[in-house]
Copies of this chain bind each other. A is one copy, B any other.
Amino acid sequence: MIGAGLIGYGYWGPNLLRNLARSGRFRVQAVAERQADRLEAARSALPGLAGHLDALELIDRADVDALVIATPVATHFALARRAIERGKHVLVEKPMCRTSAECEELIALATERGVTLMVDHTFLFTGAVHKLRELSSSGALGKISYYDSLRVNLGLFQPDVNVLWDLAPHDFSILDHVIGVEPLHIEATGYCHLNPELPDIAYLTLHCARGLIAHFNLSWMSPAKVRRIAIGGDRRMVVWDDLDREEKIRIYDSGIRVHSEAERLTAMPEYRIGDIHSPRVPNAEALAGVVRHFADVIEARDRPMMSGEHGLRVVRMLEAAQTSLDANLARIRGLLSSAA
C-alpha cells in the first residue's frame, strides 16, 4: 500500500478520495483543504483521516509517498513542484498547469528526482475513449479527416477559468491520445456575454498534418447539455454521444473514398452508406482506473499513460488557442465599439 495524501476537497475531491480509499492500493493518510468545513466533510467521509489546513504540511508528511492535487489550476505548479522536490509521486488534476513553461519545469524536475508525474485526464480511462483509440489505431477508421466536438451545457461558471480552459482540455487530451497529432495552427473565436473578461462561448479549429481538421464548439450557455464527438475517416466514421445510455458509440460503416490527386479534379467522390454498429462500452467508473494506473506506474517505475508530456501538449494547445481567442476578442470588441 502506498501512503497517499489528497490536496483539495472541492468538486472533484470527494470522487478522488472515494476511489483512493476503495482501490486497495493506497492508504490515504491525510487531506489538506483551506476551508475548514470542507476539511471536516472529508474527515467524516473517511474516518481516521488526518486533516491539514496548510497543504505544505501535508506534502512534508513522512507517511505520504504520493500526492493527489485537486486544487484550482493556478496552484498546481507550486504544489506539484514542492511535492516532487520532496521526492513524492504526483497525480495532478487537468489542466496540468497555467503555462507550458510550468509544465516543462515539472517534467524536468520529476525526471531528475525519479518520481512519477501523472495528469488526471479522467476521460482517457473511459470505455468510450478506449474504444475510439482502438478504432483509430487499428486502422478501422482509415485515414482520419476530421474530429468534431459539440461540448455545451449551462455552465457552472468557475471563478478562475474561462470556457476554453474548462471544456477544451477534454477534447485536446482525447485528440492527442486517440489520434496522436499535434496541430500546426489553431484558430479560436468566441464571446464574453456575462463577464467581459471571461469568454463563455468559444469555437476552436485546429489544422493538423495530413489534412486532419479538428473543431470544438464549447459553450456555457446551452440549456440542453450535449457531449457529441464525431470522428470521420475514409473507411468508417464514428459518433460518440456520451449522454446516450444505450448506444454511446455508433460506428457508421460509411466512408468517402478519397480519390488520388489526379482523379480528384474530374471524378465525383464515391459514397458508401452502410450499417451502424454500436459496440458495448463497459460502464466502469473511469476514475477507479486512473487511481489503479497511478499505483501501477509508481510500483513498476513505469511511464504513465497520462504523462507530464501528455499534460504539456494539452497546455500548449490551450495556450495557442488562448492567444488566438484573445486576438479575435480584441478585434471584435473594436468592431462593436465603432459600430455602436
A88 to B222: give the CA distance in the assembly, Å.
47
How many residues on chain A are close to B (CB under 8 Å)? 71
Residue of B nearest to A230 (CB): B222
B145 touches A221 (CB 8 A): yes
Chain B residues with CB below 8 A from A62, complex form: none
The yes or no answer to A99 lying at the interface (CB within 8 A) is: no
Copies of this subunit: 4
A245 to B244: give the CA distance in the assembly, Å.
9
Give the residues from 165 to 209 in chain A that come closer than 8 angstroms, CB to CB, to chain B.
Answer: 184-185, 187, 189-191, 193-197, 201, 203, 205, 207, 209
Q: Distance in Å from the Cβ of A190 to the closest Cβ of chain B?
A: 7
Chain B residues with CB below 8 A from A224, complex form: 230, 237, 239, 246, 250, 252
B219 touches A336 (CB 8 A): no
Chain B residues with CB below 8 A from A300, complex form: none
Q: Which residue of the partner chain, among B184, B195, B223, B335, contacts A252 with CB atoms under 8 Å?
A: B223
B217 touches A215 (CB 8 A): yes
A256 touches B221 (CB 8 A): yes
Q: Distance in Å from the Cβ of A225 to the closest Cβ of chain B?
A: 8
B201 touches A203 (CB 8 A): no
Residue of B nearest to A234 (CB): B193
A194 touches B335 (CB 8 A): no
Chain A interface residues (CB < 8 Å from chain B): 47-48, 145-146, 148, 150, 152, 154, 157, 159, 184-185, 187, 189-191, 193-197, 201, 203, 205, 207, 209, 211, 213, 215, 217, 219, 221-225, 230, 232, 237, 239, 243, 245-247, 250, 252, 254, 256, 258-259, 261, 264-265, 268-269, 271, 273-280, 328, 331-332, 335-336, 339-340
A-B contact list, 16 entries, CB within 8 Å: A146-B201, A150-B150, A184-B336, A184-B339, A187-B187, A190-B213, A191-B207, A194-B256, A194-B258, A194-B269, A195-B269, A207-B332, A209-B336, A223-B254, A243-B245, A276-B278
